[in-house]
Structure 1
Amino acid sequence: MQKNKILHIIKSLGRGGAEMLLPETMKLHNTSKFEFHTIYFLPWKNQMVEALESAGGKVSCFSATNNLKLMQQYSGVIEYCKKNEIDVIHCHLPWAGFLGRLVFAKTKIPVVYSEHNMQERYHIATKTINRFTFNSQSLALGVSEDVTNSIKKNINPKIPLKTLLNGANTDSFRRDPNSGTKTKLKLGIPEDALVIGNVAVFRFQKRLIEWLKVFKEIETKNSNVYGIIVGAGPLEEEIKAELIKLKLEKKVFFPGLKTDVKPYFSAMDIFMMSSSFEGLPIALLEAMSMECAIVSTDAGGIKEVIRNGEDGLTCKVEEWTKLSCLCKVLIEDPEKLSNYKNAARERVLNNFSLRRMVDELEEIYLSVIR
């Protein structure tokens, strides 16, 4: 049987939510029907390459140092598509989307575009290009209802637009208490400590400086509480300066950028997010799958996942200081903490599994080919 060849185009393969989804979905796709290729452009952001190749994907880097040079790679991408007989191009995030639409205009190879963010959060130039080029593709996907509604409001596209909720690989992301204990010991965290954590790219939207301020308030009243923040990014220096300012060097640990975050999730009791805006964060779904109790702002698609008081505890984005009180509720009631850990896992199993997402994606690929 001839396989349907799918080409993912994405700006980088660092450890962001959209990037991490690629190898996870590849593990579940029907490899007797589909063959997957990936093109990325920033050679120094390659943390997901090994995972993609291990999952059976074919990865190529078309090196570009900025967005203009990325767009200049379109002729090479067209040549790649012809040489490898690509059936569908799936683009992720705006600049990959812009390039994919240019390829679509030249070749008419079907292009599917996944939008992970709200249009209102983009730079005015990005929003403008997105608006004027959006219809030069076959189909668009929003990762949450908030994202889809933002596209409708700001672009009003003429092409098909669907919501395809992100998912977590619930078979792969399972809590491992032994791994969690080893992670604590490696970082110097007492085995009986309660751990509050986050996994994030260190960008403005994640508000990790505010996260540290919330943690400081919690830790002042609970000496056996420790923190772990996994990741890296452009605001790393500012965030670590705040860590020193708050005298939390021995209480909050930064293990850096990791391709395998499961040992760190296994060490966390509470996954706390202070984000100002989100699409539908993959790290949140992974944390839930690994039985971390959730305390978060209700930014973007988070409120589509967490039903406050059922699957976790949330507050309004502008009321982020309330996160400390929400954590306190769980810290002081171990039974409630345990219940929210179990509820998080159940919510993902029932509504946000990666298997559901992959099945829907395969139907979408076949529909645009037809």
Structure 2
Amino acid sequence: MDVVCHVITKLELGGAQEVAMRVVSSLDRRRFRPVLIAGPDGLLTEEAHALQGVELRLIPSLAREIHPLQDLRALWELVATFRRLRPKIVHTHSSKAGILGRIAAWLAGVPCILHTIHGYGVTPAQPYWLQRLLIGLEWMVGRVTTHWIAVSQADRRQGIEWELFTASKVSVVRPGIDPEVFAARIEAAERDRLRAALGVGPEDLLVGTVSCLKPQKSPEDFIRVAALVCQRMPAAKCILVGDGELRPRIEAMIQAEGLQEKVTLLGWRRDVPALLKALDVFVLTSQWEGLPCAILEARASRVPIVATRVGGAAEAIVEGIQGTLCPAGDVRALAGRVCQILGDARLRADLRNGSEELPEEFTIQETVKQYQSLYTYLLHSRRPAGNTMKLQPNRLS
């Protein structure tokens, strides 16, 4: 069996983390021995320990914040780990783990080094000089990257434009979810009971989001949208599922807007499939994304969606079928779309009933299948001539 190491900075509740965990737990054990490497103190660490047949290695110095001495220590701890494990493939996720993990894999002589772009670390909020610095750093580390994976066509195009990679060195593989968990039907009485537990009455209309409280997700915009929606629609209530660094600011905004009786912060929850079924509208206010799993989960749950048009959102949502997309930061447009859906029961029903099943490309089964196919191709392409196989570009690019 070939050792495959997946590296991610921190096992918090997030799309990149959950995809990495699903992939390592689903790899064919007859062909691959999966190892998951991460920083400490993540909310998903205990779940990762429980993954059957997956070895978990925690690197104490691997943290999201930039700290030169600690980052150098993490680099050498990763090099030592790779030298002990002797993986044939190192597959990194997220910007920080992507930089350190790929350099460490190269120093350790790992033959195949892959990186998945779950959205770039280069963001609109950064000054121009920092954006160019980060793009340059990605370009340099890209010289030791065997193959790149983008979760959206938008990220693939952006990387080619920045000259991080050529078209032949990148594949689009979606961050799949398990649609059955979210597509399961719920009885009306059970939905009413769940909504009642959230403080939502039979005549109320419930708007919600699922996201980490960090700048990328712009939870402040969600509160601004909530304020406008609740002003126009007295029956509206809102829930925010998630937690993070911006929680104190969000709590202060709720107080300042007088939304204490209208907006509830639920923190991190593990019953997201049930909570999505309690919603009348799902909202995502991200400023930038790769392709958010939360949108895929809401779509699989057949909840009407109002989201920002960032990253691969337009590749997962068909306008007028699953919901609608608005420019990032346009709070009034987002609130207007939410109110339109809340105020039209027929439209809500059409959006719920007209949505087709989640396409196969967005399922975790297809994600694992494409990863394994790519691994096999890359491993064979580095063996002596005569043992190679052809890449199927229609599946992987």
Following the alignment from structure 1 to structure 2, what is the Cα–Cα distance between the partners of residues 185 and 251? 14
- Tell me the equivalent position of 1:132: 140
Q: Give 1:242's aligned residue.
A: 253
Q: 1:112: Cα distance to partner?
A: 0.8
Gaps of 5+ in 1: none
Counterpart CA distance in 2 for 1:103 and 1:207 is: 33
Alpha-carbon RMSD across the aligned residues, in angstroms, is 2.3
Match of 2:118 in 1: 116
Aligned residue among 167, 171, 174 for 2:176: 167
How far apart, in 2, do the equivalents of 1:55 and 1:312 lie?
35
CA pair 8-73 structure 1, distance change in 2 beyond 3 A: same
Corresponding position: 1:142 with 2:145:
no
TM-score normalized with structure 1 length: 0.90
| CA distance 1:71–1:365, change in 2 (3 Å) | farther
How far 1:251 sits from its partner (Å)?
A: 1.4
* CA-to-aligned-CA distance 1:113-155 (integer Å, 9 cap, x gap): 0111246417434333212221212111111111111111123
Question: How far apart, CA to CA, are the structure 2 residues paired with 1:365 and 1:194?
Answer: 47
Secondary structure of the structure 1 residue equivalent to 2:180? coil
Instruction: Tell whether 2:212 aligns with 1:201.
Output: yes
**Cα distance change, pair 63–342 in 1 and its aligned pair in 2 (3 A):** farther
Matched-pair contact (CA < 8 Å) for 2:206–2:278: yes
- Name the SS of the counterpart of 2:288 in structure 1: coil
Q: CA deviation at 1:175?
A: 4.3
Q: Secondary structure at the match of 1:73?
A: helix
C-alpha separation in 2, matches of 1:39 and 1:309 = 41
User: 1:34: which partner in 2?
Assistant: 32
Q: CA deviation at 1:281?
A: 0.5
2: CA distance, partners of 1:137 / 1:180 = 48
Partner Cα distance (2:47, 2:75) in 1: 25
Q: Give 2:319's aligned amino acid.
A: N
Change (3 A) 1:174 1:310: closer
Counterpart for residue 55 of structure 1: 51
Correspondence 1:1-370 to 2 at 5 A: 3-41=1-39, 43-44=40-41, 46-56=42-52, 57-64=54-61, 66-67=65-66, 68=68, 69-109=70-110, 110-118=112-120, 120-121=122-123, 123-124=130-131, 125-157=133-165, 160-175=169-184, 177=186, 180-344=191-355, 346=356, 348-370=358-380
What's the offset of the Cα at 1:333?
A: 2.2
CA distance 1:181–1:23, shift in 2 (3 Å): farther
* Number of residue pairs the alignment of both structures matches: 365
User: What runs of 5+ residues in structure 2 fail to find an aligned partner?
Assistant: 381-397
Q: What TM-score, normalized by structure 2, do the two folds share?
A: 0.84
C-alpha contact 1:111 1:137 (8 A) present in aligned 2: yes
Q: Please give the secondary structure, in 2, of the residue aligned with 1:197.
A: strand
Q: Between the two proteins, what is the percent identity of the paired residues?
A: 20
Q: Which has the larger radius of gyration?
A: 2
